[in-house]
Structure 1
Amino acid sequence: MSGVVERMSDALAPRFAAVRRALGAPERTPRTAVVLGRVLGAGLVICFGTGVYSHLLQHPLGWLPLPTRPVDLYAWTQGLHVAVGTALLPVLLGKLWVVYPRLFTWPPARSVAQIAERASIAVLVASALLQVLMGTLNTFQWYPWPFSFTATHFALSWVLVGAMVVHIGVKLPVIAQYWRRGAETPAATPAAGGEEP
């Protein structure tokens, strides 16, 4: 069995490396990923806060009084929610474009911790894409699914925020390294297998 795995690994490793080289671009650096991640994270926090506010106004908790004044407060928060959520679509796609070559590392995971990290990233990406898609379709008042939009959007927002917290915790050393402007890396780093968020 071990021989089969080794032959398979020997056959796949050069192919994965070729794909990563083909996907290489000067913009795909850890610094770019961190900058886009900062914008994306801030936007998600704004959307989460305004979304929770909206949900709690629609489904109030007796013990939690929420401000309802000025009269236009709800309209402002929902306008902010929709505007920021819509603006996050290109930022999310840009972040995914920057980190996409990391999908083609070989072996995909070297430890249980890396398997858990990849699983958490899968949850993060899937929930982020689904939230943006559902929110966009909601702005058109088109619901092609059989479940409640508000309940699902609210529950999925907690999954997304939890996955984001896990992702930030796992990638904190990389984020700290590339947070400041002067921390640039050579363009070949991501394609060569360098760590990126």
Structure 2
Amino acid sequence: MGSLTERLSNAAGARAAAVRQALDAPERTPRTAVVLGRIVGAGFAVCFLTGIYSHLQQHPLSWLPLPTRPVELYQWTQGIHVAVGTALLPLVLAKLWVVYPRLFAWPPVRRPVDVVERVSVAVLVSTSLLQIVMGVLNTFQWYPWPFSFVRTHWALAWVLVGAIVVHIGVKLPVIVAHWRGLRGADDGH
């Protein structure tokens, strides 16, 4: 049984290496991933903060008075929310393009932290794409789903922020090493 498992692992590892080599491009570096990650993270932070403001305007808390002046404040925050959210679509796709070959790392899990990373990335990618697509469809006031946009968008925002925090925690060594273009970190994205 051990030899069968070893042969399967060797075959899968060779295929994964071939796929990674085929997908290799000079732009797919940890530095590029970190730079795009900073931009995407800042964009999601802006959307999250403006989304909280919007939510509190629509569902006010009695103990939290919000400013009512200038009267255009809500329009500005919503405009920023929509503009940044829409701009995040190509940025998220670019980030995914840069880190896509990591999907074919072999073995896929070496340490327990790799499991956390893979799960957090799955949640992060799926939630971010769903949030962006739902938001864009909301701008057209088209709701091809049977659930409340506002409640779902609000709940997914918190899931997305949690996934971002976990992802940053797992990837912190790579982020720190490539934050200002320093060399010497592992090749993880």
TM-score class, shorter-chain normalisation, is over 0.9
Partner of 2:161: 161
Structure number with greater CO (CA < 8 Å, separation at least 6) is 1
Partner of 1:57: 57
- For 1:10 and 1:175, the matched residues in 2 are separated by 31
RMSD: 1.5
Partner of 2:92: 92
- For 2:68 and 2:149, the matched residues in 1 are separated by 24
Structure 1 stretches of at least 4 aligned residues deviating more than 4 Å after TM superposition: none
Contact 2:40–2:88 (CA under 8 A) maintained in structure 1? yes
Offset at residue 42 of structure 1 (A):
0.4
- For 2:78 and 2:6, the matched residues in 1 are separated by 54
Offset at residue 66 of structure 1 (A):
1.3
1:195 equivalent in alignment to 2:183 = no
- For 1:98 and 1:4, the matched residues in 2 are separated by 34
- For 1:91 and 1:194, the matched residues in 2 are separated by 21
Uncovered stretches (5+) of structure 1, i.e. residues with no partner: none
- For 1:18 and 1:3, the matched residues in 2 are separated by 22
Partner of 1:3: 3
Offset at residue 112 of structure 1 (A):
2.3
% same residue:
68
Contact 1:30–1:178 (CA under 8 A) maintained in structure 2? yes
TM-score under structure 2 length normalisation: 0.96
1:47-94 C-alpha deviation (Å, 9 max, x unpaired): 000001101110111111111210000000000000000111111000
Equivalent residue runs for 1:58-137 within 5 Å: 58-137=58-137
Contact 2:37–2:95 (CA under 8 A) maintained in structure 1? yes
Partner of 1:148: 148
- For 2:90 and 2:154, the matched residues in 1 are separated by 22
- For 1:56 and 1:5, the matched residues in 2 are separated by 55
- For 2:140 and 2:183, the matched residues in 1 are separated by 41
